[in-house]
Amino acid sequence: MAGTLEFSPDDRYNAFITTCSTAPFSDGTLAGIAVAVKDNISTAGIETTCGSKILESYVPPYDAYVVGLLRKAGAAIVGKTNMDEFGMGTTTETSAFGPTKNPADPSRVPGGSSGGSAAAVAADLVPMALGTDTGGSIRCPAAFCGIVGLKPTYGRVSRYGLIAYANSLEQIGPMARTVEDASRLMSVIAKYDPRDSTMLDRPYDHRPSADIAGLRIGIPEEYFGEGVDPRVAETVRNAIAVLEGLGAETVTVSIPGMRHALAAYYVICTSEASSNLARFDGVRYGPAVDTRKTWHEAYQDLREEKFGTEVRRRVMLGTFALSAGYAGRYYAKAQVARRNIMQDFERALRDADIIAGPTMPTVAFRLGEKTDPLSMYLSDILTVPANLAGIPAISVPCGRIDGLPVGLQLMGRQFEDERVVDAAYAYEQEVRA
Ligand code: GLN
In the chain, what are the domain boundaries?
1-433
353's enclosing H/E stretch is none
Which H or E element spans position 358? strand 354-358
Rounded to whole angstroms, the maximal C-alpha distance in the chain is 71
Average pLDDT over residues 409-415: 98
Q: Which CATH number fits domain 1-433: 3.10.129.10, 3.90.1300.10, 3.40.640.10, 3.40.50.80?
A: 3.90.1300.10
The pairing of strands 216-220 and 354-358 is parallel
Cα(193)–Cα(199) distance, integer angstroms: 7
Q: Quick one: pLDDT at residue 31?
A: 97
d(CA 14, CA 237): 34
Confidence of residue 1 (pLDDT cuts 50, 70, 90): confident
CA distance 25 to 77: 8
Residue 327 confidence class, pLDDT cut points 50, 70, 90: confident
pTM: 0.98
Average pLDDT over residues 36-43: 98
Section 269-275 average pLDDT: 97
CA distance 279 to 106: 36
Centre of ligand 1 to C-alpha 282, Å, is 25
Atom of ligand 1 nearest to the CA of 137: 8
Task: For the chain, state the CA radius of gyration.
Answer: 20
Residue 258 confidence (pLDDT) above 80: yes
Strand segments (E) across 159-298: 171-176, 216-220, 249-253
Return d(Cα 157, Cα 65) in angstroms, integer.
9
pLDDT of residue 29: 96
Atom of ligand 1 nearest to the CA of 383: 5
- Residues annotated catalytic, as ranges: 38, 113, 137
Position 365 scores a pLDDT of 98
Start-to-end CA distance of the chain, whole Å, equals: 34
- Alpha carbon distance 269, 177 (integer Å): 29
- pLDDT tens-digit profile of 377-396? 999 999 999 999 999 999 99
* Average pLDDT value for the chain: 97
Q: How far is CA 335 from the centre of its chain?
A: 21
Q: CB count, 10 Å around CB of 288?
A: 9
pLDDT of residue 165 exceeding 80: yes
Q: Does 418 have pLDDT greater than 90?
A: yes
Residues with CB under 6 A from ligand 1: 87-90, 113, 133-137, 165, 269, 380
The protein residue with its alpha carbon nearest to ligand 1, atom 5, reads: 135
C-alpha 309/C-alpha 316 separation (Å) is: 11
**Cα 130 to middle of ligand 1, angstroms:** 15
Angstrom distance (rounded) from CA 229 to CA 206: 35
Q: Which atom of ligand 1 is nearest to 136's Cα?
A: 8
